[in-house]
């Protein structure tokens, strides 16, 4: 988590150099996507590369923010406008986000910890529940 700034910087460089087909997460053998939300204040597109949990045809995102004590901007943007897009290897997919709560959150959280145990460490560091969003494809 201490190297997060370097990781984000390097990931942006890889994304630009390879047209979205390469990311550090993908190089590590994990599923990654590029999320584009609408800025809740600016109304402008905001993009970030993220690890995701593939679940059926859906994409599950955890707003860990590298263990920081506040939610990442993309999570705040999704709460304001859940219509967004993901790019997989540079190919765009329109999706709509839904934040999980209650029992549904607890079930998914257990799945997420089995998928990526590092979330437990990030949650401990952040000292907050880590929001979870399910992104579902929408017809173009």
pLDDT in tens, 10-31: 555 555 655 655 555 555 557 8
**pLDDT tens digit sequence for 107-139:** 999 999 999 999 999 999 999 999 999 999 997
Percent of the chain with pLDDT over 90: 66
pLDDT at 140 exceeding the cut of 90: no
Q: Tell me what percent of the chain is helix, strand and coil, each rounded to the nearest 5.
A: 35, 30, 30
On whether the CB atoms of residues 63 and 69 are closer than 8 A, the answer is no
Q: Which helix (H) or strand (E) holds 57?
A: none
Distance of alpha carbon 119 from alpha carbon 107, whole angstroms: 15
pLDDT at 67 exceeding the cut of 60: yes
Looking at residue 119, its pLDDT comes to 93
Backbone angles phi, psi at 123, to 5 degrees: -65, -40
* Mean confidence (pLDDT) of the chain: 86
Could you tell me where the beta strands, DSSP code E, fall in 45-82?
A: 45-51, 53-55, 58-62
Distance of alpha carbon 69 from alpha carbon 20, whole angstroms: 29
């Amino acid at each position: 988590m201490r190297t997060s700034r370097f990781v984000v910087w390097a990931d942006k460089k890889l994304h630009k150099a390879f047209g979205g087909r390469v990311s550090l997460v993908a190089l590590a053998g994990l599923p990654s996507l590029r999320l584009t939300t609408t800025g809740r204040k600016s109304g402008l597109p905001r993009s970030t590369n993220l690890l995701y949990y593939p679940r059926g045809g859906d994409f599950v995102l955890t707003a860990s923010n590298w263990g920081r004590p506040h939610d990442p901007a993309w999570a705040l943007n999704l709460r304001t406008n859940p219509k967004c897009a993901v790019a997989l290897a540079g190919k765009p997919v329109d999706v709509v986000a839904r934040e999980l709560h209650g029992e549904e959150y607890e079930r998914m959280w257990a799945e997420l910890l089995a998928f990526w145990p590092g979330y437990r460490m990030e949650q401990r560091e952040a000292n907050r529940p880590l929001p979870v969003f399910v992104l579902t494809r929408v017809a173009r």
